[in-house]
Structure 1
Amino acid sequence: MSPVPVADGSPGRPGAGPASPQGSPARIMTALVLAVLSYALMQTMLVPTIGVLQRELHTTAAGASWAVLSSTLLASAVLTPVVSRLGDSHGRRKVLVAVLVVYLAGTIGCAAAWDIGALIAFRAVQGVSLSVLPLAFGLIREALPADRVAASLGLTSGLVGGAAGVGLVCGGLIADHASWRWLFVAGAVLVAAALLMTRAVPAGPPGRAERLDLPGAGLFGLSLTALLLALTEGSPWGWTSGRVLGLFGAAVALFAAFVVRERMAAEPMIDVRLLTQRPILVAHLGAFMLGANQFVFYVLVPKLAELPRGLPPQDARLLGYGFGMSVTGAGLVMVPGTLLGLAASSSAGRAVTRRGPAAVLGLGLALAAAGGALLAAAHAGAWQVTVIYALVGAGSGLAMAALPALIHAHTRPEEVATANGVNTVARTVGGAVGSQLGTAVLASAALPGTVLPAEHGFTAAFAVGAGVAAVGALLCLAARVRARGGPVLAAPAAAPGEVPTAEKA
C-alpha cells in the first residue's frame, strides 16, 4: 500500500483542497497565527511576575507559582485532549471559536482578579488555550491548499517557542513599569483580535458528531492530574514522600484503566493506536523530550543571567559567576535563540518534504543536544550563552515544525486534532519534567548555607538538558533505521470511502 503524502504539501493529501471563499489563505493564516500567538505569549509573560504577585496579592511563593504556572498547566493538560476530540467530531472552527471565547473570559477575569484564589481560578480557565494548537494544526490541513500546509505548520508551531523569549521580555517590561494586570489586558486584546479574525476561517466539513467518551475522558484527565500534581509538588513535598509516590502510583493505575476502557469503548475518546503505533509513538516521545529540553533551558538561562555577579566580601564564591541582569535583560539573552527557532520552524517545510518529518525531528533534537553540551562547557559570559542558546533555539524550532507534520503523515484526517492534542500534552508533560529536572539539579548544587547554586550546578543541569534531547534524537534515528529495514507500521484499515494512511519515514 503506497503512502499518502499528508504533511509534505504534495498532491493527493486527503481532506485538502483550495481555500474556502470564506477567506484567502493569507487571512486564514493571520487568524490562526493570532490565535496561537495569544497562547504562546501568555505562556511566559507571567513568569517575571511571581515576586510581584506574591507581594501585591499578599500570598506565598507557592501561591504565586500556582497562579503563574501550576493551575494553567494542570487545566490545559486535562482539557486539551477532550477539546481536541470535540474539534474532530463537531467541527474544528466551531470549537476554536468556543475555546477563544472561554479563553477571553478567563483572561478578563485574571485582569480583574481580587485575590490570589480568584487569580488561580481564572488562570485555570485560561488553561483551555493550549487546545488552540491542535485545533489550528487541524484547520491548516483542512482549510489551506496542499502546497501551503508544510510551511504553515512550521510557522504556527514555531511561534510557540519563538514567542517564549519575547514573552519574557514583554512581561518583564510591563511588570517593571506598570501593573501586572496590564499583562492580561494586552492578552485580552490579542485574544479578541484572534476571535474576530476567525470569521475568515472556513467552517469545513461537518464532523461525525460522535458521543464524547466521558468515562475515558475522566480517567485520562485524572491520570494526568495525578502525574502533574506529583511533578509540580514533588520538590516541596519531598520526592520520596507518601503523597508524591502515591500520586505517581495513581497516575499509572488510572492510565492503565484508561487504556482498558478505550479498547472496550465503541466510540473511544482517543484511539489507542494514536498512542502506540510506532511513528506516532516516536512523535509523542520526541515531543516529551523536546518539552523537557526546552524547559530545562527556560529555567536555567534566566536564572544564570539574573544571578548576582558577586556576593558581599565575606562570601566571594560567586565572583566572576552570574551576569547580574534584570528580568528584562535575562529575557533579552533568550530572544535571539527564540527568534532563530521561529525562523527555523518557518523554513523547515522544504526539509520535511525532502527528508521526512522524522528526520527533521531527529535533526532538531540533535542540534538542541549539541547546544546544551556547548553551554555545559562554556557559559562564563552573557555573549556565550546568547550565541550558544541560539543553536538550542534553532534545534527546538526544527523539532517543533516536524512534530505536527509527523502526526499528520500518520493520522486519518478525522483524527488530526485529537492526535495533535495528545502530542501537545506530551510536550507539556515533558516541560513539567524538564523544569523540575533543572530545578532539582541546581538545588543539589546549592552552596552551603545559601540557596544559591554553585557554578558546577549549571554545568550539570545544562548537560542534563543536552542528554534529554540526545535521547530523543537517538529514538528518531532508531525509528528511521528500522523503517529502512522493512515495514514499520501496517496502514490501518480504511472505512468505506476513506483514504488509508501509511508509513512515511
Structure 2
Amino acid sequence: MIDLAARPTVRGGALLTAMSVTVLAYSLTQTMLVPTTTVLQHALNTTATWAAWAVLSAPLLASAVLTPLIGKLGDFHGKRRVLLWVLAVFLLGTLGGLVAWDIGSLIAFRAVQGVSLGVLPLVFGIVKESLPADRVTHGLALTSGLVGGAAGLGLVLGGLLVDLLSWRWLFAVSAVLVTAALVLVARSVPESPHRPGGRLDVPGAVLLALGIGGLLLALPLGPTLGWGSAWVLGLFALAVLGLAAFLVVERRSTSPLVDPEVLVDRPVLWIHLAALSLGAAQFVLYVLVPKIAQTGFGTGVTVAGLIMLPGTLVMLPASWLAVRLGERTSLAAGLGCVAAAAGLLALWNGQVWHLVVFYLVASVGFGLVMAVLPRLVTGSVPHDRVATANGVNTVARTAGGAVGSQLAAAILVSGGGYPFAFGAAALVALAGVLLSSGATREGLADQ
C-alpha cells in the first residue's frame, strides 16, 4: 500500500498541465480520423472496409489488448516510466501514419497508435498518487472530462483539416501534441512512490488477447461476412473460451495480469458494466449524429462536426458539475441524460436543431459519467492496483464503443432506420442506469 503521507512533492499546476496535454493527444487522435473514412478510401485507392480498419478497427483492437498490460506495468514498475515509453511508441506510430504509403502501412501504424489508450489508466493513477489529497478529485474531474470533450473536438477538427488541407495533417497535429506530452511528463511528473516490481503473467496476457481480440475482430467482420458465417461464429467462440480461461488462470495465478478483484468483485464489476453501457450508447451517437447530418441534410464533414460542437463544449463543465453532485448521483444522472437524449432522437430527428440540442443533452451525460468513472474505480481498489483497475474500466468502455458502432451499422444495414438505432442506444443507456443503482446498493459511497 502507498503511504499517502509520503506523496512526492510536486507542482500541481505543472503536473496537471502535463496530464491534460497527454489526454488531449490521446483523445484527439482517437476521433480526428473518424470523419475521413471516405477520404482515405479514395486517397489510398482502397475499399470502405479497409479504410474503416485504418480509422477505427486496428487501433481499437490493439488498444483493448494492450491497455490492461500497460496498467499492470505501471503498477509494477512506476507509472511515469511506463507513460514515457507508451508516449514514445505512440509518437512512432503517429510519425509512421504521417508518411503511410498505402492502406496496409496505415493500418499497421494505426495499430501502433492503439498503445495510446494505455495513457488513461496511467494518467489517472499519477493524479491519484502525486497530487495533494484535497486536489485529487478536481484533478480526476479535469483529466477524465477532457477525454470526452477532446474526443468530440477531434470530430470537428478532423473535418476542418481534411476539408481545408489533407488527412496527413491529422497525424502532424497529433505528433506535435504527443511530443509536447513527452516533454511535459519528463519535466513535471515524479516517479511512483511505490513500485513493488513483479513478473508479468504471460499466460494471462495471451488468453486476454485471444478473448478481447476474438470479440473485436468478430464485430467488424459480422456485417461483411454475415453473422452466421463460420469465421464470425468461430471468433465469438474464441472470445468466450479465451475470456473464460483467462478468469480461471487469473484466479489461480500468484501474480495475475489482472487481479480478479478488479474484474468481477463487486462493486467494481458494476462500475465496469456501467462503463461498457456508456461506451456502447456513446458510439451509437458518435456514428449516427454526423451520419444523419450528412445523408439526411446534405451537410459536409465540417458542418456535421459543427453540429456536434455545442455538445463537445459542455463536456468539461459537466465534469466539474460532477464534483459537486457526487459519484453516485453523477453516474445515474449522466446515463439518464444519455438515455433521454437518445430516446428523443429516436422520436425527433427531422430538423438540424434536434441533432444539436439532443446531442448537447447526451454530452452533459457523457461528461458526468466520464468524470466519475476513474474516481469510482480508484476509490474501490487498493492504491497499488489503481492503474490496472482503471485500465480494465477503460477497456470496458472501449469495448462498449466497438459494440455500439457495429450495432448502429448493423441496424441501418438491416433497414431498421435511425429511430430504431437511437432507440437501441436509449435502452443500452437505461441498462447502465440500472447497473449504476447496483453499484449504489453495494454500498458505494460518494467520496
Q: Is TM (by shorter chain) over 0.5?
A: yes
1:341 aligned to which of 310, 315, 319: 315
Of residues 50, 57, 64, the one that matches 2:37 is 50
Q: Which residue of 1 aligns with 2:357?
A: 387
Q: How many residues end up aligned between the 2 structures? A: 445
DSSP-derived class of the 1:276 partner: coil
Deviation at 1:17, TM superposition (A): 5.3
The letter for the 2-side match of 1:52 is: V
Question: Is residue 2:423 matched to residue 1:463?
Answer: yes
RMSD, aligned α-carbons: 1.5
Report the alpha carbon displacement of residue 350 of structure 1 after superposing the two structures with TM: 2.4
Aligned residue for 1:408? 378
Structure 1 pair 15–240 and aligned structure 2 pair: CA distance change class (3 A): farther
Task: Name the counterpart of 1:272.
Answer: 260
Contact 1:19–1:25 (8 Å) recurs in 2: no
Query: Unpaired runs of 5+ in structure 1?
Result: 1-12, 308-321, 446-455, 489-502
**Cα distance 1:36–1:15, how it changes in 2: closer, same or farther (>3 A)?**
farther
SS at match of 1:74: helix
Q: 191, 200, 224: which is aligned to 1:203?
A: 191
- Counterpart in the other structure of 2:80: 93
TM-score (structure 2 length as normaliser): 0.97
Secondary structure in 1 matching 2:244: helix
**Which letter maps to 1:134?**
P
Contact conserved, 1:154 with 1:347, CA < 8 A, in 2? no
Q: Do the aligned partners of 1:275 and 1:281 also contact (CA within 8 Å) in 2?
A: yes
TM-score under structure 1 length normalisation = 0.86
Paired letter, 1:49: T
In 2: Cα distance, 1:14 partner to 1:467 partner: 41
Q: Give deviations 1:124-181, integer Å, cap 9, x for gaps.
A: 1101000010000000001111111112111111112112221111111111121211
- Residue type at the aligned position of 2:445: K
CA contact (8 A) 1:32 1:136 kept: yes
Structure 2 unmatched runs, 5+: none
**Residue of 421, 430, 445 corresponding to 2:391:** 421
Of 405, 419, 438, the match for 2:408: 438
Contact 1:137 1:417 in 2 (8 A): yes
For the pair 1:256 / 2:230, whether they are aligned, the reply is: no
How far, CA to CA, are the matches of 1:350 and 1:15 in structure 2? 27
Partner of 2:445: 504
* Equivalent-residue separation in structure 1 for 2:40 and 2:196 (angstroms): 45
Q: Which has the larger radius of gyration?
A: 1
CA contact (8 A) 2:86 2:119 kept: yes
Q: Determine if contact 1:16/1:144 at 8 Å carries over to the other structure.
A: no
Please give the alpha-carbon distance, in whole angstroms, between the structure 2 residues aligned to 1:54 and 1:18: 54
Q: Counterpart amino acid of 2:307?
A: V
Cα offsets for 1:293-337 (capped at 9, x unmatched): 100001110011001xxxxxxxxxxxxxx2211111111111111
Residue number among 132, 137, 140 corresponding to 1:153 in the alignment = 140
Following superposition, the deviation at residue 443 of structure 1 comes to: 1.5
Equivalent-residue separation in structure 2 for 1:338 and 1:469 (angstroms): 19
Check the 8 A contact 2:8/2:193 in 1, yes or no. Answer: no
Please state if 1:287 is matched with 2:275: yes
Do 1:151 and 1:347's aligned partners in 2 also have CA atoms closer than 8 Å? no
Report whether the alignment pairs 1:32 with 2:19. Answer: yes
Residue identity over aligned pairs, in percent, reads: 54
Show the counterpart of 2:337.
Answer: 367
| Matching residue of 1:449 | none
Distance 1:372 1:51 in 2: 26
- Residue 92 (structure 2) aligns with: 105
